[in-house]
Amino acid sequence: MGRSLINEVIGKHLLTKKECINVTEDTFLITFNEEIEFLPGQFVMVSVNSHGLTRKPFTIGKFRGHLAISVKIVGDGSRYIVETDTPLEIVGPLGNPFIPSSSNGVAVVAPSCVAEGIHLMKHFDIPLHVCSKNSLNKDFISAISDKKMELHIGDDAYLQLLTKLKYEKYDWVFITGSKMMERIGIDTLTGESRKVVYVSYNEYMGCGIGACKSCAVVTKNGIKHVCSDGPIFRGDEICFQD
């Protein structure tokens, strides 16, 4: 029924943008001048004022030492977050931190989650694979250049990466992106290769604080909630709905 969060105090912060970097045609990496304390895997809810009926959830990371989120424009709210020059009010950090089973892992992220990916790469000192359906902005590529990071463009490249990871000696693979990307990753890697796959799950959120119960995910242990039980789940716990 979800972890009770009722007595944990939630912070609010007003953040001003430092940089807004084009990652792909519709995805942006935004960094902020202000810092907040958070742990890997946690997320924030970003207010969009009258540009949407709910705050929007984004996992948080760091880029060039600054607090960062990645935003894919999917509607008026996310467009507002990318385009506005006014400070953004955020609620958080929210959710549970990512505590992997060992230090021997690898992260695979879509451009829409690249802020979190870069943070995990630095925090856990692990390789990072950025998998994009479309080409990445050249300025972004040069900005994020790191010997621990590889880029993979197109669906085939993602599938080839998963095949390669199947046979590499990592204990765990962290995947975050679209539901389809995560599901394919889980299906490919949790079988004979017996890797632990972690996914940072996305479901539409009303409140982000455990009140509304909208962000349900079906697991082998019953209904869980992304905001209070997640956002990170083991792939082999999730029961996908066809």
Partner 1 sequence: MFPRLELKVPLIIASGPGGFGEYSRFDDFPWEYVGAYTLKTVTYNQKCGNLPPRMYARDGYMINRIGLENPGIEQFLIALENGEYGRLFDKANVILSLGGDNYQEYIEATKKVKPYLCKFTAVEYNFSCPNVDKGGLSIVTELTEWQKLLQEIRKELTDTFLIAKLGIEGGFIENLAEKAVQSGWEGVTVINTIRGLMFNDDREMLLGGLSGPNLLPIAARAVYEVRKRVPEAYIISSGGVYREEDAELLLKVGADAVSIGSAVFQDEKVIARIGKHISEYLKK
Residues that bind partner 1 (CB under 8 A): 1, 4-10, 12, 47, 49-50, 52-55, 74-75, 89, 179, 203-207, 209-218, 222-223, 241
Q: Which is nearer to partner 1, 74 or 99 (CB)?
A: 74
Strand partners, 180: none
CB of 3 to partner 1, least distance (A): 11
Q: Tokens 């690249």 map to which residue?
A: 114
Q: Which is nearer to partner 1, 132 or 228 (CB)?
A: 228
Amino acid letter, residue 237: E
Q: Which is nearer to partner 1, 3 or 148 (CB)?
A: 3
CB of 7 to partner 1, least distance (A): 6
Q: Which is nearer to partner 1, 12 or 164 (CB)?
A: 12
Distances (CA, A) of 40 to 111, 113, 170, 194, 230: 17, 13, 19, 24, 12
CB of 4 to partner 1, least distance (A): 7
Cα gap 29→177, rounded to integer Å: 15
The answer to whether the CB of 188 falls within 8 A of the CB of 166 is: yes
Q: Tokens 């304390």 map to which residue?
A: 37
Cα gap 215→225, rounded to integer Å: 5
Two tokens, residue 220: 């082998």
CB of 34 to partner 1, least distance (A): 18
Other Cβ atoms less than 10 A from the Cβ of 175: the count is 28
* 109 phi/psi in degrees, rounded to 5: -135, 150
CB of 230 to partner 1, least distance (A): 12
CB of 88 to partner 1, least distance (A): 12
The answer to whether the CB of 126 falls within 8 A of the CB of 105 is: yes
Q: Which is nearer to partner 1, 4 or 145 (CB)?
A: 4
CB of 159 to partner 1, least distance (A): 20
Q: Which is nearer to partner 1, 127 or 208 (CB)?
A: 208
DSSP 3-state of 186: helix
Q: What angle do CA 94, 96, 100 make, to 5 degrees?
A: 145
Two tokens, residue 92: 């958080």
Q: Which is nearer to partner 1, 25 or 139 (CB)?
A: 25
